[in-house]
Structure 1
Amino acid sequence: MKRRDVLKVLASLPLAGSAGSLFAAPAARSKLLLVFLRGGYDAANLLVPVSSQFYYEARPNIAIARPGPDLNAALPLNADWGLHPVLRDSVHPLFSAGQAAFIPFAGTEDISRSHFETQDAIELGQPAGRGRDFQSGFLNRLVMELNGKDAIAFTDRLPLILQGRAQVPNAALRAAARTNVDARQSSLIASMYQGTDLEQQVNDGFHLRDELMQEMGGIMGREMEAANRNAISTRGFESVARRIATLMRDRYNIGFVDVGGWDTHVGEGGASGLLAGRLDALGRGLAAFAQEMGGAWRDTVTVVISEFGRTFRENGNRGTDHGHGTVYWVLGGSVRGGRIAGEQVRVEQAMLFQDRDYPVLNEYRAVLGGLFARMYGLRSAQLERVFTGVKARDIGLV
């Protein structure tokens, strides 16, 4: 999608006033799409701490350059933060239009750094230190509080987050291809460049990938695939997002979709490369969703989360490992965007959690509880049933 086309669409959509029209709108009109990035994406290269010299010291090979005339430089958001440049024509126009916000230092209390433990903990949304009820996901509990509001999972199987007493359907969207390029596909791609100036570069690239994966061992490779939990990949996500919008615009009010491929231990890249390609596809999909929602976009909130962020320092394979705090995205026609929301701290070595990760300053249940209260007018007793033992925190997202 071209920047001018996105801006044209945004210009046609009504914006909220300072209070946010979603709060004033009947709950029946409010729509929520939760996008779960499985694998733990590298938030520090999405929302770039451009004022931090430590960031550039910690990432000599994969850092995103400070804002400037170069097209590979971060897109300025404010004095401290920039946005990955591949989102120039998709998410950045939404931010500029006041329809997107980012919440750094967000996440869960879980410190296992395990994809599976943390994904489960987030989807269940239950108090830590107690036995888990795997038949009660927090989105299902929200549906119950909204008297069975129409909800759907755009997944092959009903995810944990939507399991519970409310009956929720799921619809497979497997048109988006899987993340990995297998040996047959690698051979086909290599043959396409045979005899050209790029032949050696392509062959060297596949050889390096195979060498690194072999070096890291089969166990990690299997873990990276398992972390996706059969989620769709970003490839083709734009068309998937349009189909999601068609269903949510006309029928469903709460939706969930998970997108895999974010476990970037090896060859993550910076302004270009593995992570950049996936962020580009994700951004174009989110912009397409906004466009396809049409007038319903003003009553829609899209929240993008992940189980955790990545290590702040790059590793020896020019990638990043499992971390803790991450960055959430909140987009919508009535979102009070154009800003970096929530509690923040200056990005320097002293602020790192266990000297390796972003800390969690914006606990996800408190933040989402505050958002749900604004969107749906939920009372304290209702929020307690969605997120037991958590005090909702309104950070003015809508």
Structure 2
Amino acid sequence: MKVLGIETSCDETAAAIVEDEGEGPGRVLSNVVLSQLDDHRPYGGVVPEIAARAHLQHLDRLVRQALDEAGLGLSDLDGIAATAGPGLIGGVMVGVMTAKAMAAVTNLPFMAVNHLEGHALTARLTHGVTFPFLLLLVSGGHCQLLAVEGVGRYRRLGTTIDDAVGEAFDKSAKIMGLGYPGGPLMEKAASGATDPGRFDLPVPMKGRPDCDFSFSGLKTAVRRHVENLGGTLLDADRADLAASFHQAVGDSLIDRCTKALKYFKAEFPEGKTLVVAGGVAANQVLRARLTDLCRRHKFDFVAPPLALCTDNGAMIAWAGLERLRLGLTDGLDFAPRPRWPLDPNAKAAPFAGVKA
């Protein structure tokens, strides 16, 4: 079974083809990603209109490239999947309409994929992880802990009440004068620290009985330290502050995940895997902390290859393939969604959407 996946939810235009090889992991036949970082860097973040226009300009070419690299034609496919939400609605519409048009002219099944489910199921593509497993989803727009019971079956244990962790990285990097995107630049800066404990930063939500996150206060603390240094940082200041930021984020994630592991093991004693997914999952410092946590709790730790942590078409193709195997296809009248929770029954975080 071979499925084409299209991803246009934010600032990467991507197309990929994956293949189901039966038992175990799948196979990526092609995975083409066009980053728009240079287009958005002058603005310090993603501009939705610019992103949508870039998707429209490049997507057809990338789909053709994905087919060529896989050595396939449209007639060799078993289905076409596209991110249908959540995301920047202009970009989501470009991908969905392209996938629908291709499905209509080829008479192939269309799968509307939740972008978050794409991240959630990547570990099954790369490592053949079995259900159930605990998922830490960390990216620029999302920070959640979920029990993954099966395709389309998610139970949210915790979410951020304000900023996502990736957003905190981006905004803190901007405050420190490091530029955009913040995550890789903060990690690079932290590697040169000589005094990682120099700056006292709070560990958000530590000790709370729930599994929720908060990062806006941490971002504010970074701003306060920058102001105390007169607003102008030396390279050594940036390195030490970036390292202190990593320490605080890591402490918060470990505390929250420890709570979630307790709840998960009580509910799913057969589960034994913690999966981390999303763009922040590429951070090697945080990966190391999570690896140690799993070792101590006798859990397996799985993180996708770095190229499959950030947004890509392979994760959408794989989620589409998993849904196609179960007969979960969608009509061509499916409407793109700017918001689409994995667990629609989860209570909203008390201050969701509020920015400090």
TM-score, structure 2 length as denominator? 0.30
More helix by share: 2
TM-score, structure 1 length as denominator? 0.27
